[in-house]
């Protein structure tokens, strides 16, 4: 079960990175502010999921 959380942490961190990159790219090219706001909200939610996955991975290691 701990290996599941190890993979989950990696996937969650990748998802956060992708959402951050997409949001920044949209802002830098002068895209829709609404889309940038939506992507940054997704990033915050994904960061929460990543933190919970990290806590779960640490908990399973004990």
Return per-residue pLDDT of the chain as tens, 62 residues: 668 878 999 999 999 999 999 999 999 999 888 998 999 999 999 999 999 999 988 888 87
From CA 22, how far away is CA 52, in angstroms rounded?
23
Question: Exposure of 44 by Cβ count < 10 A (0-12 exposed, 13-18 middle, 19+ buried)?
Answer: exposed
- Give this prediction's pTM: 0.82
């Amino acid at each position: 079960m701990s290996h599941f959380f190890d993979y989950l942490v990696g996937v969650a961190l990748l998802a956060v990175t992708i959402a951050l990159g997409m949001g920044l790219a949209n802002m830098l090219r002068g895209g829709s502010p609404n889309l940038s706001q939506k992507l940054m909200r997704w990033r915050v939610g994904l960061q929460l999921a990543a933190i919970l996955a990290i806590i779960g991975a640490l908990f399973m290691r004990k």
